[in-house]
Amino acid sequence: MDKLFREFGQAHRRYNGKELSTTLSPVAPADDPYRLRNIWNGAGHHDAKAVIKRKIQNNSDGLAHNEVMGWTEVYYAYWKALGQILLVQDASNNNGPVSTWTRVYEAWKDVLNAVHRGYTNHGFEAWTVPCLYVVGNHLRIFARRADVERTSANNYVGEASFQDDFDADSEKNQQLEDCARQLNRLFQLCLSDRTQDLAKSRKWGIYGLANLLFKTYFKLNSATLSRNILRAIAAAYKGDMPALDKFPKSQRVTFKYYEGVMYFLEENYEEAEKHLTEAYGLCYTHATRNKDEQLLAPFPNLQKLFGPLSACIKKGDLAAFGKVLQENEEVYIKLRIYLTIERGRDMCLRNLLRKVFIAGGFEESTEPGKAPLRKTRVPITHFTAGLWAMGQEDIDLDEAECLVANMIYKSFMKGYIHHERGVVVLSKAGAFPGTGV
């Protein structure tokens, strides 16, 4: 325990929020595997709070009494939570009393509540906001473990006795749903800060907590709730709010990724591509011809699941896309992404129609000296031939016209269909939005 509070004192003297947040980690580092047990053994139930208060005072010169009391409550709750974590670890080794991840979750929620009170009642400064992310992230982890543990136990009991009287789905994500509410409290704590000096504002914690909420909502199949987070952040920019590029790269990448996925789910593919490309660009600064291969190369499982899909979409190969989707259907359903991936069929078709458009070539400009213009009047028969070339032999002219009409309606193409002449008249500028053509 002495080591813990020496680190606490050093972080306070340096005003280093990242260092401070590591003192609240419930995971022992590889180079100190007995850290949690040593902290737990550093005090007894009868004197733990007094011991913690004394060590905070001894290791943090000049810390106001109000803050001392706040951090004492935080580390006392942390100490009690470690006791529950150690009981779970010991039980897994068939050694000692039994605890559950649900008890760990509830104990860790006490840590979160103590940290929240620290900002509202005890004057915790803004530089300590990394603690909010660490506490919130582990609450999410413990919530998932508690839900899995409870669901497994309920399934076993239900099969053995009263399965018909038990609604497993009603409690499947009980802890994770509660976790979402707790994370939203932390998010609002940062969002509502009215400090004029941004350097001293809790708003520096907004994006880290927003990302935790995105992960939680997506896990709960409640991705639409993420829109509330985006609206709240957009409203915050009307006041004093640090620009996104001032936040750590890891937070920016995650935020842009989820923002892009939400646009994708709403079938706003142009915006989705924009935000996902930004997320990618933050990770990889050197452009290559094979970006997808570079991105997936270190992850063979992801390469297997998504590499062929990416290749089909780029090529516009609808038949191959359908085959890959069918072959991996069970895996995609298990990962709860089947419907999302299935929407990629539109992007595949868009790219096929774009290739047909480009293959049409150019026509001479009517104005002397002007560069040739790309042909913008494309017969439906040309698009039909392109579909046939990609294995869609059973599609006739009427079906091809219907597919093109849907692409125009969904804003994948800009133009209109001249039905009597059997021609698609495309825009001279940006015929296929988001593709540069």
Asked whether residue 270 is assigned to any structural domain, the reply reads no
**Residue 157: band (very low, low, confident or very high) from pLDDT cuts 50, 70, 90:** very low
Predicted confidence (pLDDT) at residue 168 exceeds the cutoff of 60? no
Average pLDDT over residues 302-313: 85
Predicted confidence (pLDDT) at residue 321 exceeds the cutoff of 90? yes
E strand or H helix that includes residue 137 = helix 130-160
Are residues 360 and 330 part of one domain?
Answer: no
Structure tokens that stand for 268 in this block: 């706003």
Are residues 331 and 375 part of one domain?
Answer: no
Asked whether residue 145 is assigned to any structural domain, the reply reads yes
Are residues 145 and 98 part of one domain?
Answer: yes
Q: Compute the distance between CA of residue 427 and CA of residue 414 in angstroms, rounded to an integer.
A: 6
Q: Of 285 and 184, which is predicted with more confidence? A: 184
Asked whether residue 271 is assigned to any structural domain, the reply reads no
Q: φ, ψ for residue 395 (rounded to 5)? A: -90, 130
Average pLDDT over residues 424-433: 89
Average pLDDT over residues 163-172: 47
Are residues 367 and 221 part of one domain?
Answer: no
**Percent over 70 (pLDDT), the chain:** 90
Give start and end residues of each alpha helix (H) in 161-290: 174-191, 206-219, 226-236, 249-265, 269-283
Predicted confidence (pLDDT) at residue 298 exceeds the cutoff of 70? no
Asked whether residue 296 is assigned to any structural domain, the reply reads yes
Predicted confidence (pLDDT) at residue 27 exceeds the cutoff of 90? yes
Domain boundary among 305, 320, 342: 342
Average pLDDT over residues 135-146: 96
Q: Compute the distance between CA of residue 109 and CA of residue 143 in angstroms, rounded to an integer.
A: 10
Predicted confidence (pLDDT) at residue 143 exceeds the cutoff of 70? yes
Beta-bridged to residue 379, according to DSSP, are 423
Are residues 301 and 187 part of one domain?
Answer: no
Q: What is the pLDDT of residues 195-236, one digit of tens each?
A: 888 889 999 999 999 999 999 999 998 988 999 999 999 988
Asked whether residue 432 is assigned to any structural domain, the reply reads no
Domain boundary among 311, 342, 373: 342
Are residues 368 and 234 part of one domain?
Answer: no
**Percent over 90 (pLDDT), the chain:** 59
Are residues 241 and 113 part of one domain?
Answer: yes
E strand or H helix that includes residue 329 = helix 329-334
In contact, 200 and 156? CB cutoff 8 Å: no
Angle at 97 between CA 95 and CA 98, to 5 degrees: 100
3-state secondary structure of 91: helix
Query: pTM above the 0.95 mark?
Result: no
Asked whether residue 254 is assigned to any structural domain, the reply reads no
Predicted confidence (pLDDT) at residue 52 exceeds the cutoff of 60? yes
Q: Compute the distance between CA of residue 267 and CA of residue 142 in angstroms, rounded to an integer.
A: 34
Are residues 205 and 181 part of one domain?
Answer: yes
| Enclosing domain of residue 169 | 2-246
Secondary structure letter of residue 240 according to DSSP: S
Predicted confidence (pLDDT) at residue 87 exceeds the cutoff of 70? yes
**Residue 96: band (very low, low, confident or very high) from pLDDT cuts 50, 70, 90:** low
Mean pLDDT across the chain, nearest whole number? Answer: 87
Q: Which CATH number covers residue 411?
A: 1.10.10.10
pLDDT of residue 158: 43
pLDDT of residue 264: 84
Domain boundary among 246, 276, 310: 246
**Residue 162: band (very low, low, confident or very high) from pLDDT cuts 50, 70, 90:** very low
Asked whether residue 318 is assigned to any structural domain, the reply reads yes
pLDDT of residue 97: 60
Are residues 380 and 337 part of one domain?
Answer: no
Average pLDDT over residues 50-75: 93
Domains in the chain, number: 3
Predicted confidence (pLDDT) at residue 90 exceeds the cutoff of 90? no
pLDDT of residue 294: 57
Asked whether residue 360 is assigned to any structural domain, the reply reads yes
**Residue 368: band (very low, low, confident or very high) from pLDDT cuts 50, 70, 90:** confident
Residue 248: C-alpha distances to residues 205, 237, 252 (Å)? 11, 18, 7
Q: What is the pLDDT of residues 332-344, one digit of tens each?
A: 888 778 888 888 8
pLDDT of residue 102: 94
Are residues 196 and 140 part of one domain?
Answer: yes
Are residues 31 and 180 part of one domain?
Answer: yes
Are residues 359 and 241 part of one domain?
Answer: no
